[in-house]
Amino acid sequence: MSLALYRKYRPKTLDELLGQEQVTAVLKNAAATGKLGHAYLFFGPRGSGKTTAARLLAKLACCSTRRDKKEFRAKGEPCNECLACNEIDAGRAVDVIEIDAASNTGVDNVRDIIEGVRLAPSSYPMKVIIFDEVHMLSKGAFNALLKTLEEPPAHALFILATTEYDKVPATIASRAQRFHFRKLPLDIIIGKLKTISKTEKLKIDDAALELIAALAEGSFRDAESLLGQVTSLAEKVTTEIVEEHLGAVGFTRVIALAEKILNGDLKSSLAYLQELNAGGHNVTDLTKELIHYFRRVLTLKYNPDLEEMFRHELTTKELEQLKAHIQLFDDKKYIPLLKSMITAYSQMRYSPFATIPLEIALIEHLK
């Protein structure tokens, strides 16, 4: 069985952890100066590198090359050659324990872990406990963990990861070093997908890669999973294949519909919407992308400085088309439409009549 792309191309050093430089810079410096903490809290959107960073931190704490060679330790990176690094990468490290907090939420689970932590590590200098989705722990489990986080054994390192920081008790968060993982920019995801495609000798259009990156919504893991999925469908992957098999709507179609709407062409807008729906495209996702598109048009109209930020989210051609649509955007007409589309989107997500809310919004404002 072939290894999934997101596992095959998981970063093995902090330098390879793209898009999170504000995190890696601090961790590298702490590792280089021998000042790693006893507890860390990583929070941010899914697929942004939290669990990967936790495993890298585990390697930094356990790497025998770093322990034995002072010159290498100054690099602030794991060697990826010693037994500890290789076993952690392979998921076989007995002193590195990963806990899925969503499945082990109870106080008894945490107490068992705490009892195990008190024992000295059997193979490495440190014993590392990684709690994934830590916000899922029960109140009793958090209370059981609290005392150990406050006064941990000298050989213990706790790493907590979560997508929902606000659900982590302040008493827990205050006892850990906190690092915010940002949503990854589109251009960084596209760049990594291109690197993977070149390494794997995959035949895929740049436009298809851009669509996959957009569908991932800031998640490397999702992007790599989708890439592996679509490249198994055809020898050469095009935008049409991605749209057909993932039910996605490419940015070109979003722009085409936006053009019709901004020109006030209700008849053509409804016909195009019906064409996309009949073609099996996801109209709910289309509405979401259309809302994002009009939001960009509106905000760029009133703050041209945002153009630099949008360069990380859009291709040069897409950005030029967006700027051209600023001239067509009538605030009095299209801001109310944008509000109606937001309402329509919330209705479409749970309705068996997916296209109707959007059609009604267009008719109300373009008739």
- For position 163, what pLDDT does the model report? 93
With residue 286 as reference, give the H or E element that holds it: helix 283-302
Decide: 163 and 129 in contact? Cβ < 8 Å. no
User: Inter-axis angle of helices 220-230 and 206-215, to 10 degrees?
Assistant: 130
| Domains annotated on the chain, with CATH | 5-180 (3.40.50.300), 186-246 (1.10.8.60), 251-366 (1.20.272.10)
Query: What pLDDT, on a 0 to 100 scale, did the predictor assign at position 177?
Result: 95
Q: Is the pTM of this model over 0.75?
A: yes
Q: Which residue has the tokens 């200098």?
A: 125
pLDDT for res 247? 62
**Tens of each residue's pLDDT in the chain, 367 residues:** 567 888 888 999 999 999 999 999 999 999 999 899 999 999 999 999 999 999 999 999 999 999 899 899 999 999 999 999 999 999 889 899 998 887 777 788 888 888 888 888 888 999 999 999 999 988 888 988 888 888 888 899 999 999 999 999 999 999 999 999 998 888 899 999 999 999 999 889 888 888 888 888 888 898 999 898 888 877 788 888 887 777 666 777 888 899 999 999 999 999 999 988 887 778 888 899 899 999 999 999 999 999 888 887 777 778 888 899 999 999 999 999 999 999 999 998 887 888 899 999 999 999 8
pLDDT for 218: 83
**pLDDT score at 1:** 52
